[in-house]
Amino acid sequence: MNAIEIAGLSKTYTGKKWTRVDALKNLSLEVAQGEIFGFLGPNGAGKSTTIKTLLGLIRPSSGSARLMGEDIGTAAARKHVGYLPENPAFYDYLNAEEYLLFVGRSFGMPEGLLGQRCAEVLQRLQLWDARKRPMRSYSKGMVQRVGIAQVLIHDPEVYILDEPMSGLDPVGRALVKEIMTELKQRGKCVFFSTHIVSDVESVCDRVGIITKGELRSVERVEAVLERGVVGYQLTLKDREGSRELYVPREQLTTTVGELAVQGVEITLLEPRRKSLEDFFLEIVTGTAV
């Protein structure tokens, strides 16, 4: 069973004055357990729309989806999920500890385990000292940390995170990446949206790129990087001194042959690969790969 199964999901918002926005068009996707999936797209691409639909916050116009085999929109499906909303807001009259206890109890965690997990999570996210202060007094990054803490506390199977790194300092970002890798090792499924490509490159198994509500590409990150070797940078040395030359991948053999004939020495050969960033930009701006 896949952790997340999305089949033909579409969403059309009808706004005021009957304006219609096709935010999501026939999206199909599967994410396995034990996989970290990066959901990449520019602003307004439909990432949050997809995620909110998965959590039953909005109803799809058509299509269906399942979380751990349960139809979305049911409490049973949400039971398996830890969700971090984008720009989260939590009851600001509660303090972090009270809120985490509330979340844990809503998931039906036994009190003993809950207390222990609560302390662990608070410490891990460096909220321990602030845990008795009402969240009204928290900074943006602290609220984001509470958001991550409330995702972790009940140890669900599936983690759906909408821009988990936003608002975090570099230490926080590194911490989140570390946590995601740990979760993967424990066989959990992490599905997160972002527009920062390097985050995807460093932790994801697979990446999905969405623009204007359409899923353009789903790839293994490794494969993209391998396929990405587009040419070589040669450093040459002859009588006139040393110079550099760029050679496209398919011309490498012939060029090297010619250079040997000319008696030019190749002192350095470096592969030039397209980064994930270039890959992303190509898809987004519509230039062919």
Partner 1 sequence: MFEVFRITLKGIFRDRVFHGILVAAVLLPLVPSVSQLSMRQVTELSITLSLSLISFILLLLSVFLGGTSLWKDIDRRYTFSVLSLPISRTRFLLGRFLGLAAFLLLAALVLGVVACVVVSITAGNYPPDRPVVWGNVFAAIVFDALKYILLVAAAVALSTVSTSFFLPVFGTIATMLVGSASQQVYEYVQSPAGEKLTPLLRQCANALYYVLPNFSAFDLKVNAIYGVPLSGQGTLLTVLYFAVYVAMLLLVATVLFSRREMK
Number of Cβ within a 10 Å radius of residue 198: 12
What does DSSP say about strands 206-211 and 214-220: parallel, antiparallel, or unpaired? antiparallel
- The reply to whether 87 sits near partner 1 by the rule CB under 8 A is yes
Give whichever of 79 and 177 is closer to partner 1, judged by the CB atom.
79
248 contributes a contact to ligand ATP by CB under 6 A: no
- Which residue, 48 or 150, is less far from Mg ion as judged by CB? 48
Single residue of 1, 17, 20, 89 touching partner 1 by CB under 8 A? 89
In angstroms, rounded to a whole number, what is the distance separating the alpha carbons of residues 137 and 100?
17
Looking at the Cβ atoms of 45 and 176, the one nearer to ligand ATP is: 45
166 counts as binding ligand ATP under rule CB under 6 A: no
Q: Near ligand ATP by CB under 6 A, which window of 43-51, 88-96, 234-242, 255-263?
A: 43-51
- Of the residues 46, 82, 88, 172, which one makes contact with ligand ATP according to CB under 6 A: 46
3-state DSSP percent of the chain in helix, strand and coil, to 5: 40, 30, 30
- Between 24 and 221, name the residue whose CB sits nearer to partner 1: 24
Q: Tell which one of 13, 91, 93, 102 touches ligand ATP (CB under 6 A).
A: 13
Structural element, H or E, at residue 26: strand 20-31
Stretch that binds partner 1, among 33-41, 92-100, 123-131, 182-190 (CB under 8 A): 92-100
Separation of alpha carbons 120 and 123, rounded Å: 5
Helix (H) or strand (E) holding 84: strand 81-84
| Residues near ligand ATP (CB under 6 A), total | 14
Residues 167 and 173: their CA atoms lie apart, in Å, by 9
Min dist CB 20 to Mg ion, Å, is 19
Tell me whether strands 62-67 and 4-14 are parallel, antiparallel or unpaired: antiparallel
Which amino acid, residue 196? I
Query: Any contact of residue 155 with Mg ion (CB under 5 A)?
Result: no
Which amino acid makes up residue 41?
Answer: G
Indicate whether 15 belongs to the interface with ligand ATP (CB under 6 A).
Answer: yes
CA 169 to chain centre: 17
C-beta of residue 4 within 8 angstroms of C-beta of residue 25: no
79 near partner 1, rule: CB under 8 A: yes
- Pairing mode, if any, of strands 81-84 and 158-162? parallel
> Residues interacting with ligand ATP, by CB under 6 A?
13, 15, 21, 23, 41, 43-49, 86, 195
> Residues interacting with partner 1, by CB under 8 A?
13, 52, 55-59, 75-76, 78-79, 81, 83, 85, 87-94, 98, 102-103, 105-108, 134, 147, 150
> Residues interacting with Mg ion, by CB under 5 A?
47-48, 86
